[in-house]
Chains A and B, each alone.
Chain A
Amino acid sequence: DGGITQSPKYLFRKEGQNVTLSCEQNLNHDAMYWYRQDPGQGLRLIYYSQIVNDFQKGDIAEGYSVSREKKESFPLTVTSAQKNPTAFYLCASRPPDKSNTEAFFGQGTRLTVV
């Protein structure tokens, strides 16, 4: 079955630690996105990538980093520079920008700082 897989579902981070959230898709989509969602809030764009080896900052990129070495994979690293990383992280993908197709989401990763 085609889809987007995020792992892990739950992640705990100690202060000062970097952690990496995984996102893999087998939908053959070019574009991939990372969003952050805080309780009762909408989706805020962290980073996005339209093609392999290229990505752009979203609205809240500070304290985060990404890579896009393969079309299928778009991992997000939450660095120690992100002071308030506790949130629900969602990865999404969709076909190239000029299509009308909707975004497809993974099941999300809930990150908690302990």
Chain B
Amino acid sequence: QKEVEQNSGPLSVPEGAIASLNCTYSDRGSQSFFWYRQYSGKSPELIMSIYSNGDKEDGRFTAQLNKASQYVSLLIRDSQPSDSATYLCAVKNSNYQLIWGAGTKLIIKP
């Protein structure tokens, strides 16, 4: 079992709809959770970070964390073609290591 798992996709969502990206992790002692967006050929950029259970909203983005179920998700409302990218989930585990998921490719269809 991988420490951090994501569905590789591609996930295809119509423009204007909600895109939902999921990530599960295996280390129950994990402390910090990050969502990065990566455009093709570019380096990852931080979208959201979340540290406690519940929702955290920033503009069109909402991160959701459920430590009991060991998953973290990212919702993108009113999806735009510019949101088309690969989304990487990163988890800081109980050993303070930053573990990366393989990423989910998101395609927003106009």
Q: Return the CB mask of B45-70 against A: 1 if under 8 Å, else 0.
A: 11001010000000000000000000
Determine if B17 is an interface residue (Cβ-Cβ < 8 Å).
no
In the bound assembly, the distance between CA atoms of A59 and B41 in angstroms comes to 23
A interface residues, tally (CB under 8 Å): 19
Let me know if A102 and B43 touch, CB within 8 A: no
Do residues A105 and B43 form an inter-chain contact, with CB atoms below 8 A? Answer: yes
Minimum CB–CB distance for A58 against chain B, Å: 10
Asked if A11 is at the interface (CB within 8 A of a chain B CB), the reply is no
* Chain A interface, >50% SS class: loop
Query: In the assembled complex, how far is the CB of residue A72 from the closest CB belonging to chain B, in whole angstroms?
Result: 18
Which residues in chain A, 57-91, are within 8 Å of chain B measured between CB atoms?
A: 88, 90
**Quick one: which of A41, A94, A98, A108 contacts B43, CB cutoff 8 A?**
A108
How far apart sit A107 and B98, CA to CA, in the bound complex (Å)? 19
A-B contacts counted at CB < 8 A amount to: 43
Contact B49–A106 (Cβ < 8 Å): no
Residue of A nearest to B31 (CB): A100
User: B96 and A97: CB pair below 8 A?
Assistant: yes
A102 touches B100 (CB 8 A): no
A residues with a Cβ closer than 8 A to B are: 33, 35, 40-43, 88, 90, 94, 97-98, 100, 102-103, 105-108, 110
With a cutoff of 8 Å between Cβ atoms, the chain B residues found around residue A42 in the complex are 88, 100-103
Closest A residue to B8 by CB, please name it: A40
- Interface 0/1 of B92-104, CB less than 8 Å to A: 1000111011110
- Residue in A98, A100, A106, A107 whose Cβ sees the most chain B Cβ within 10 Å: A100
Q: For the complex, is B44 an interface residue (Cβ under 8 Å from A)?
A: yes
Task: Find the A residue at minimum CB distance from B101.
Answer: A42
> Whose C-beta in chain A lies nearest to the C-beta of B97?
A97
